[in-house]
Amino acid sequence: MTAAYIVLATLSAPAIYNLIAQSQLLDLVMSGNLPEQAKSIFMLVAPDKMDLLNAPMDQATAQQLLASVPDTFSSQLLEQALSPATLSMALVAAHMVIFWLSQDSNVTPPVCLTAFAAAAIAGTPQMRTGFTAWKLAKGLYIVPLLFAYSPLITGDFDQMLQVFCFALFGIYAIVAGLEGYLEHPLNPLVRLLMFPIGVLMLWPHGQIALDVTGW
């Protein structure tokens, strides 16, 4: 896992950090709350579009506006628009994404050292144990998405608590669908319903209505 994390941190962390920071910048532009110092950059690169920055706009318009900023100004725009704390948490989120995903190397056949070690201790077939471990560890794919697309570690306490609670039960529902067992064996229809229920509670765009529907 350590080697996998080092490779991913070198190759992927900067790109993921930029994606997360750009997403937060897009939200600011869409809401019309871009700081004045950041607007000064648009005054240089797109003075004819300054009026758009003073009011909320749709996502397509905001993306088009950001696309007009040259790459040479993109890093400066992020620094002017987002606070140092926000940029730091975006970097933490990027590294948490790759750290969680790198853990999957321990339970992914055919190279799953942890699962093979467990199989040797338990006296069970190695590959069967590896595939079972891989199936049970699929929360490793869900949690990084929450790091990247929800305020799980970048929001305020209320937002983090909301995401944590719904994610906890959402993953629980998906595991129930995979295993066919909750507090007791599930019939096929209920087992099939567990998957959309889990997705509703895990949907990462802050739509509380979807979360409550899944609950």
pLDDT tier for residue 59 given thresholds of 50, 70 and 90: confident
99-103, 159-163, 202-206: least confident range: 202-206
pLDDT at 160 over 80: yes
pLDDT at 193 over 80: yes
User: Which residues are within 8 A (CB) of 154 and not within 5 positions of it... i.e. 6 or more apart?
Assistant: 20, 24, 86, 89, 90, 93
The mean pLDDT of 19-26, rounded to a whole number, is 88
Predicted pLDDT at 124: 92
The mean pLDDT of 103-113, rounded to a whole number, is 83
Q: Which two tokens stand for residue 95?
A: 């590294």
The mean pLDDT of 55-83, rounded to a whole number, is 85
How far is Cα 215 from Cα 210, in angstroms, rounded to an integer? 9
Side chain identity, residue 200: L
Predicted pLDDT at 123: 92
Distance set, CA 175 to CA 131, 168, 187, 192 (Å): 15, 11, 15, 11
7-16, 44-53, 190-199: least confident range: 44-53
Q: pTM for this one?
A: 0.74
pLDDT at 121 over 90: yes
pLDDT tier for residue 213 given thresholds of 50, 70 and 90: low
Average pLDDT, the chain: 83
Predicted pLDDT at 125: 92
